[in-house]
Chain A
Amino acid sequence: MKLQPTDWLLLSPELFLTAAGLTLLALSVFFGKAKEEFLAFLAVIFLGITAALLTFVATSPARSAGPILSGMFVLDNFALFFKFLVLLSVILTVLGSVRFVGAAPYPGGEYYALLVFTCVGMFFMVSGSNLISIYVALELMALSSYVLAGYFKGEIKSTEAALKYFILGAFSSAVLLYGLSLVYGTAGKLGLAELAQIYGSAGRTNATLLGIILVLAGLLFKIAAVPFHLWTPDVYEGAPTPVTAFFSVGPKVAAYAILARIFYVGFPRFHADWGLIVAVVAAATMIWGNVAALLQTNVKRMFAYSSIAHAGYALLGVLGFQTRFGMWGVLVYLLAYTLMNFGAFGLVIFLETKGYAAETVADFNGLARRNMPAAVVMLIFLLSLAGIPPTAGFIGKYYLFTAAMDAGYAWLAVIAVLASAVSLFYYFRIAAAMFFTEGTPVRISGSYALTAAVVICAAGTLLIGIAPERVLDVLHRCLPGRY
């Protein structure tokens, strides 16, 4: 493989981010606990520069000119959209972590460096057009995530979360890798476009199908779909809250990107085979995610199950991706989901108790009396998560339901809407706590950085809900393979 001069240019965001991560790591040696807010500040600057580089790459005509890294890497609009989205989630996470990590007795420099490394991994994931490059990028992201989950190493729950995440993550990666080896064994290629070509003419063999199913299982693990979701509640509960917020959006969105790309570009021929599996998994995920969330009293566990349910809704779009609204819907939904879910977690971080953020629904008691703006913003996120208009969550769900109907899965759409109605019950437990009850004094620990992150999320949630046209239009040009 020979690197072209333009490759360097087009890889500049990833290269810069890698350098930025190493710089943060090196600087963390020199900055003690007291001055680490500067590192967070620096991380935001680095991520901002990355955004500028991404914009520059997006406008470069070279990105569609020829294969990049000999076809291992693509820079279509789809990849760019997801890069911006995961970058947004990382920036929000850094903003949400400043006060939280600062107050914890662990060095913060490595924390930000690890976040940047996950970002590099996700950048390569969403641009991967070869199963091996996707797999390697996925592992880069995953390994950094395991460490982040256990970052509060003195807390037993955090350590437990990291260990669970690591063991189950490694297991799922093994499943994925085994699936990839079967695909390679039957097709002899690993590039997605080549695979589609080979499978387009070749007959389907059991080995191929098994390979595809194992790849699917590995990816469903990463997006936490039922029955591969068991790690989620424990990891989400145990990890430091900003990390949980990050896990619920960034890595999940990136995993969705590769799931969508692999099956949209690589295996469209076998849609009939994996379609039914995905449909059943989606139904189980929506039902179990919502029903289990009803039973939780711990806010982080509740949002863990809620995020499982949301993964289920998004599968409707994957299922219907040959229709007009399918893939488009996935993009709309993931954008909406990132904003609203991170926003909701932002408020959980905001209400710090025991250094571990809000633990129970009761911690939200009487928030409306003490801090009305915070309560109203949380309400916007809750409405959006429950899919009530006029919010981003409604527009996103509308697309997914439409895609399911269009793809002929009316039964699944019925399950989806009813599950979505059920979800209102647990989301509004928080609303009821905020508005209907007297408060118990919980320490409110908002920082300017966190407030900024939450305001960004709220503004986006409302904007997409009320005036979605521009965003929808942009996203429509972001389907895989469009430039």
Chain B
Amino acid sequence: MNTLQQIPILSIIAYIPLAGALAIMFLIPKEKTGTIRAFATVVAGLDFAVSIPLWFAFERGKAGYQFVEHASWIPSLGVEYRFGIDGITLLLLLLTTLIGFIAVYCSFSAITERQKEYYVLLLLLQTFMIGTFCCLDFFLFYVFWEIMLVPMYFLIGVWGGQRRLYAAIKFFLYTLAGSVLMLLGIIALYFYNTTGFLGYKGLGHAATFSIEKLTAVAAGMPVALQIWLFFAFFFGFAIKVPMFPFHTWLPDAHTEAPTAGSVILAAVLLKMGTYGFVRFSLPMFPQAVQTSWVIGTMVALAIVGIVYGAMVTLVQKDMKKLIAYSSVSHLGFVMLGIFALNMAGIQGGVLQMINHGISTGALFLLVGIVYERRHTRMIAEYGGLARQMPVYATYFLIIALSSMGLPLLNGFIGEFTILQGAFAKSFWWALFACTGIVLGAAYLLWLYQRVFFGELSNPANAKLPDLSIREQLTLAPLVVLAFWIGLYPKPFFDILRTPAENVVRAVGGQTLTPPAYALSGAEPSAPAPTPAEAATR
């Protein structure tokens, strides 16, 4: 696999979709919708296929970034074009390319208007997301981070539901407002590294935006400045996560977006925020993060997000909105794990990011499938679907169970590891978080009961066809992944261990006690369920 190190593999993965988008834009006339669909699918599939070798070529135990490539971009500012990945980004990158493929493939029947523009935007979005995860230069990171909003804005605005205009601009403005503050944080770091600013004496280094160099520089800053910059970055990331109380854009955007848009939003875009916390906030501002009131605020917001998100989810009447609010709750779990600042918490948090991408992504796909058939998302319109669509009901059940954290499925591994990390810090954190799991089981099972069980009372549902082959093909990879992570998570923990150790070491935590599964490699030997989990079963 040495060859992979020699070719700019990450750039290739990043720009295949861009090339595909340009080809569609300029070469295929818009009337040939079949060709456009097929071509876009091939491009997205090719992109996923090209990204798979990374999984094998990636060296697990090696610290630092791999597959690094760099080129000069704006030397007068110290800006470089640099790509590279570590374990955390490897998983997110693979998730992105897989979801990208599924998003294209699931849109065949859902999108009937303005198809050319649609697939161009999807592929552009794919490039920008991959770029955001892979880049190692703050300037470049900001460029990708911002430009990513544009295709998503149009996906929601053109192909969205009733209130799409409102949802699209709200999504754009919220995220933009957060990220411009992050830009100021980046500028402040730049000056701290070079000439100094606002009375802080600069270090006099050469101008750079290198993420590694600036991370090291930032970690040595005075605590007061660290706290200021932590909050500058915080707004950028917290709005994207979204953390309570910045979450209000999410239900609108999720609900109004077309299926593929919701899937990408849930599976990838939200991860940018949590990724930002792990990749930037923790290693860059370790003293700020360990300041008790900062960590208290973060954990409090995370727990409020878990509990409040779950309670709001319970009362939703619209399936898509229900899943959207459940994301607020799930992402609260991820944040709790990250801010436990220990191995279990961070590994669990990152793994839960992937899990959430799989489960929630699949849930949006599933809702999209019935929405296409019935053009309604209201739970009350359904009931007894298990009789009419047994295959669909089975997929939905597996995914719902995975989302609520049933053992043998992926959600359990993530949530358990997070709780392990949180418990190590405080009994109360874990206790509050557990109520989220109980509520999670409640809203998902209740949803399942209302949609699938009982009599097929609504005559409109009497003729619904079950899943087509294509629909099953979009869901199957996610189900396989859910079982894989649930049954044998060791490969994932192996990949995450080194980068997680780096983060934990940076924030002064213990790195010697990784979670039990990761070391032994054994399957989870049915750990004693917590009271809350016992209650859910």
Q: Which residues of A contact B (CB under 8 A)?
A: 324, 368, 383, 388-390, 394, 398, 401-402, 405-406, 408, 410, 413-414, 417-418, 420-422, 424-425, 428, 432, 435-436, 468-469, 472-473, 476
Asked whether any CB of chain A lies closer than 8 Å to the CB of B445, the reply is: no
Asked whether any CB of chain A lies closer than 8 Å to the CB of B534, the reply is: no
Q: Are B173 and A436 in contact (CB under 8 A)?
A: no
| A428 adjacent to B172 (CB under 8 Å) | yes
Q: Is B12 an interface residue (CB 8 A)?
A: no
Cα separation A418 to B179 with both chains bound (whole Å): 10
Option from A414, A425, A435, A473 in Cβ contact (under 8 Å) with B173:
A425
Size band of the interface chain B makes with A = 35 or more
* A414 lies within 8 A of B184 (CB): yes
The residue from A401, A413, A425 contacting B169, defined by CB atoms under 8 A apart: A425
Residue pair A405, B187 in contact (C-beta under 8 Å): yes
Q: Is the CB of B180 within 8 A of A418?
A: yes
Interface flags for B139-159 (1: CB within 8 Å of A; 0: not) read 000110011011001100110
- Chain A residues, CB < 8 A from B223: none
Q: In the complex, what residues of B have CB within 8 A of residue A413's CB?
A: 184, 187
Contact of A383 among B73, B150, B195 (CB under 8 A): B150
Set of chain A residues within 8 Å of B195, measured between Cβ atoms: 324, 406
Q: Return 9 A-B CB contacts under 8 Å, by A number.
A: A388-B150, A389-B143, A389-B146, A420-B180, A421-B173, A432-B157, A432-B169, A435-B154, A468-B74
Given contacts A418-B180, A435-B154, contact A472 B74 (CB under 8 A): yes
Q: Which of A368, A417, A436 contacts B165 (CB 8 A)?
A: A436
Q: In this complex, what residue of A is CB-closest to B154? A: A435
Q: Sorted from nearest, which 3 A-B pairs have the closest CB atoms?
A: A417-B180, A389-B143, A421-B177
In the bound assembly, the distance between CA atoms of A402 and B189 in angstroms comes to 11
Bound complex: CA A389 to CA B149 (Å): 11
Which residue of A388, A390, A401 is within 8 Å of B184 (Cβ)? Answer: A401
Query: Is chain B's interface secondary structure helix, strand, loop, or mixed overall?
Result: helix
Bound together, the chains give a CA A394 to CA B140 distance in angstroms of 12
Please give, as numbers and ranges, the residues of chain A lying within 8 Å of B184 by CB-CB distance. Answer: 401, 405, 410, 413-414, 417
- Tell me the nearest residue of chain A to B139, going by C-beta: A398
Q: Which of B117, B177, B181, B197 contacts A405 (CB 8 A)?
A: B197
B231 to chain A, nearest CB (A): 12
Beta-carbon nearest neighbor of B232 in chain A: A414
* Interfacial chain A residues near B199, Cβ < 8 Å: 408
B residues with CB within 8 A of A: 73-77, 117, 142-143, 146-147, 149-150, 153-154, 157-158, 164-165, 168-169, 172-173, 176-177, 180-181, 183-184, 187-188, 190-191, 195, 197-199
Q: How far is the CA of A401 from the CA of B165 in the complex (A)?
A: 30
| Residues of chain B lying within 8 A (CB to CB) of residue A428 | 153, 169, 172
In the complex, are the beta carbons of B181 and A417 less than 8 A apart?
Answer: yes
- In the complex, which residues of chain A have a beta carbon less than 8 angstroms from the beta carbon of B181? 414, 417-418
Most buried by A among B75, B168, B180, B199: B180
Q: Judging by beta carbons under 8 Å apart, are B76 and A472 in contact?
A: yes
A425-B169, A473-B76 given; A435·B180 CB < 8 A:
no
A59 to chain B, nearest CB (A): 24
A324 partner residues in chain B, CB cutoff 8 A: 195
Complex Cα gap A388–B148 (Å): 10
With known contacts A389-B146, A414-B184, A424–B74 Cβ distance under 8 A: no
Q: A408-B198, A436-B158 are in contact. List 9 more A-B contacts (CB 8 A).
A: A368-B117, A394-B146, A401-B184, A405-B191, A410-B197, A420-B180, A424-B173, A432-B165, A469-B73
How many angstroms between the C-alpha atoms of A328 and B180 in the bound complex?
21
Least distance between A13 CB and chain B CB atoms (Å): 29
| B183 close to A417 (CB less than 8 A) | yes
Closest-by-CB residue of A relative to B160 is A436
Among A469, A472, A476, residue most surrounded by chain B Cβ atoms (within 10 Å):
A469
Identify which of B74, B173, B176 contacts A469 (C-beta below 8 A): B74
Q: How far is the CB of A373 from chain B (nearest CB, A)?
A: 11
Q: Are B158 and A402 in contact (CB under 8 A)?
A: no
What are the residues of chain B within 8 A of A383 when measuring CB–CB? 150
A417→B181 CA distance, assembly (Å): 7
Contact A408 B197 (CB under 8 A): yes
**Are the C-beta atoms of B168 and A432 separated by less than 8 Å?**
yes
Closest chain-A Cβ to B127's Cβ sits at a distance in Å of: 12
Expressed in whole angstroms, the minimum distance between the Cβ of A447 and any Cβ of chain B is 25
Docked complex Cα distance between A483 and B199 (Å): 34
Nearest Cβ on chain B to A316's Cβ, whole angstroms: 12
The distance from the CB of B26 to the nearest CB of chain A, in whole angstroms, is 11
Closest Cβ–Cβ distance, residue A2 to chain B (whole Å): 42
Contacts of B191 in A (CB 8 A): 405-406
Contacts of A473 in B (CB 8 A): 76
Instruction: For A424, list chain B residues within 8 Å (CB).
Output: 172-173, 176
Q: Are A418 and B177 in contact (CB under 8 A)?
A: yes
Q: Give CA–CA (A413, B195) in the complex, Å.
A: 18
Cβ distance A477 to chain B, nearest Cβ, rounded Å: 11
Residues of A within 8 A of B117 (CB): 368
Task: Return chain A residues, CB-CB under 8 Å to B73.
Answer: 469
Whether B183 pairs with A401 at a CB distance below 8 angstroms is yes
Alpha-carbon gap, A425 to B154, bound state (A): 14
Cα A20 to Cα B76 with chains together (Å): 40
CA distance A436 to B117 in the complex (A): 12
Contact check, A435 vs B158: say whether CB atoms are below 8 A apart.
yes
| B residues in contact with A389, CB < 8 Å | 142-143, 146-147
Contacts of B153 in A (CB 8 A): 428
Q: How far is the CB of B71 from chain A (nearest CB, A)?
A: 12
Contacts of B164 in A (CB 8 A): 436
Complex Cα–Cα for A390 and B150 (A) = 11
Q: In the complex, what distance in Å separates the CA atom of A408 from the CA atom of B197?
A: 6
| CA distance in complex: A111, B187 (Å) | 46
Q: Which residues of chain A have C-beta atoms less than 8 A from B168's C-beta?
A: 432, 436
- B177, chain A: closest CB distance, angstroms: 5
